[in-house]
Chain A
């Protein structure tokens, strides 16, 4: 059933230990994070995953990458069921699935030079011979994401936030993956840097045929990059569809509320609404 999809989930569920409710003895009770998630991402397709804080969008992204093991439902990657695989069995697939993190400063090792950071996945999967080839490949990857190659000798703290996010992208595409999860990667950036990163991702997606899961609380950003969108509320999908259609005519009240809450650069008296919450 999963042919032609890169990622597919059916009835996917995730429950994690509720540390806050842990009794002094015994195991912590679990709390449901995701429930009955159905979704499908075709090759080269990009899916926006949107919702408020706590809706489960980050957990969903991590589950799709099998950073969490789902506690229910089924999950396929490139036609293979991966929901219950153990780590040694997953490991070869990891090269095909990558992540770009929200905060590149904490996602990049402060004691490593940029060249080492970008070449790290290549070394981990034995794709380079020796340091010199790693540096050359890293330089080429930096140029691919619009950075000067001589950045390989710098450290993360010596470059700007936008440059760091490009480094995160260069590292994510180093192994030529089929699927990338990008978690709130532009929410800390200025609009002009944000626009550069979004257009870069759009070009990479087109040129490399990347399938993308793009997690964001900002539906305007999703509109720029994604073909399809799922809207999460308390761990469940309340709406899914083509971006254009969903934005033009949202069916679910929660989707409508999320869209209405975005401040468009248009003067609109009354947008703030009345004083009650």
Chain B
């Protein structure tokens, strides 16, 4: 079966003053229907930019090349209007900061109903009824009250549940979840992860789960791709990658992750020599690409 999302050789450069800066250096990644696929890396590795490129939300100044196959076609060849038509029913986003993603002066119910009316063409009443069901699906108690509330009246965990309800509302084929639990307490985080997994289990929605936390990957993902400096350095099922990481960088990331079940001195920052070697590899990659462009 074809994957829901298939990314081949995705390059993304951003114009900075007089030169172009490579952000993605040929990313390959595939997410099957129903799979939760972790994309894990540090700040600046390019993980958020992969999600944005998939959603068609890369910055205007970005030059994107390669292929992003979704629902049988290449997204990068699509005109803007056709890409926008995919949002909602085709693909949706669970953002990191739910407070920034919600409109502060509109009630929760109206914001969810917008999605249903726009993408599913539901009428006012049908949408209102469906909103209550959706809030129930994300285990919000007293949804009749919550629909009348404003975002600032809800806790961080509740707001993230609302965003999850919005993302799943049109049963999209793909959801990009960008650090959806990073701002939350560990206990709330676990409930939100459980909720995402539960909603995913009842559908064939594929989820691209972007995070910097290998612990979160181990708990919610089926497969994982480790990204560094705009390249996937290792991709594997979670069972394999945590039992036997193959790439030095993956191993270093694991050793840099604090663990309460290990002695304090087991923690080690990423070795400077490894960081330098990876930076050299990225620079060599950019040189080869520039030469190829000059030749071609």
Tell whether A265 pairs with B242 under 8 Å between CB atoms, given A53-B185, A191-B42, A259-B260.
yes
B57 part of interface (Cβ distance < 8 Å): no
- The DSSP consensus for interface residues of chain B is helix
Q: Tell yes or no: B217 within 8 A of A by CB.
A: yes
Q: Is B12 an interface residue (CB 8 A)?
A: no
Structural contact, A192 and B269, CB atoms closer than 8 A: yes
B156, B191, B217, B243, most chain A CB atoms within 10 A:
B191
Contact B191 A263 (CB under 8 A): no
A265-B264 in contact (CB<8A): no
Contact flags A155-172 to B (C-beta < 8 A → 1, else 0): 000000100000000000
Most buried by B among A195, A247, A277: A195
How many chain A residues have a CB neighbour from B under 8 Å? 40
- The listed residue (A190, A223, A247, A276) touching B212 by CB distance below 8 A is A190
Size band of the interface chain B makes with A: 35 or more
CB contacts (< 8 Å) of A192 on chain B: these are 42, 252-253, 256, 269-270
B269's partner among A195, A222, A225, A259 (CB-CB below 8 A) is A195
Q: Is B148 an interface residue (CB 8 A)?
A: no
**Are B197 and A198 neighbours in the complex by a CB distance under 8 Å?**
no
Given A225-B264, A261-B186, is A267 in contact with B218 using a C-beta cutoff of 8 Å?
Answer: yes
List residues of B (182-229) whose CB comes within 8 Å of A's CBs: 185-191, 193-195, 197-198, 212-220
A25 within 8 A of B: no
Given contacts A192-B256, A259-B260, A262-B260, contact A272 B42 (CB under 8 A): no
Known A196-B269, A224-B264: A272·B43 in contact at CB below 8 Å: no
Question: In whole angstroms, how far apart are the Cα atoms of A92 and B256 in the complex?
Answer: 39
Question: Is B84 engaged at the interface, CB distance under 8 Å to the other chain?
Answer: no
CB distance from A61 to the nearest CB of B (A): 17
Produce 1/0 per residue, B261-295, CB < 8 A to A. 11010011110000000000000000000000000
- Assess A247 versus B253: contact at CB under 8 Å? Given A161-B43, A196-B269: no
CB-defined contacts of B193 to chain A, threshold 8 Å: 263, 272
| Cβ contacts A193-228/B at 8 Å (1 or 0 each) | 111101100100000000000000111111111000
A268–B218 Cα gap in the complex (Å)?
8
CA distance A218 to B269 in the complex (A): 18
A253 proximal to B (CB < 8 A): no
B227 CB → nearest A CB, Å:
13
A272 cross-chain contacts in B, Cβ below 8 A = 190, 193-194, 197, 219-220
A212-253 at interface with B (beta carbon < 8 Å):
217-225, 247
CB neighbours (8 Å) of B216 from chain A are 263
Interface centre among B213, B243, B253, B264 (most CB of A within 10 A): B264
Is B162 part of the binding interface, using a Cβ–Cβ cutoff of 8 Å?
no
Which B89-129 residues have a C-beta within 8 angstroms of A? none
Within 8 A of B (CB), among A101-115: none
Cα A198 to Cα B257 in complex, Å, equals 11
| Complex CA–CA separation, A271 to B43 (angstroms) | 27
Q: What separation, in Å, do the CA atoms of A262 and B258 have in the docked complex? A: 11
Kindly identify which residue among B139, B185, B187, B256 contacts A191, using a CB–CB cutoff of 8 Å: B256
Q: A198-B258, A217-B185, A218-B186 are in contact. List 15 more A-B contacts (CB 8 A).
A: A53-B156, A53-B185, A161-B43, A195-B256, A195-B258, A195-B267, A199-B267, A220-B257, A222-B260, A262-B260, A263-B213, A263-B216, A265-B214, A265-B259, A277-B139
Question: Closest 3 CB pairs between A and B?
Answer: A263-B215, A195-B256, A220-B258
Some 27 contacts from A to B, beta carbons below 8 A apart, are A52-B185, A191-B42, A191-B258, A192-B253, A192-B256, A192-B269, A194-B258, A196-B269, A198-B258, A218-B258, A219-B260, A221-B258, A223-B264, A224-B264, A224-B267, A258-B186, A262-B186, A265-B215, A265-B259, A266-B242, A267-B243, A271-B219, A272-B190, A272-B193, A272-B197, A275-B195, A277-B191
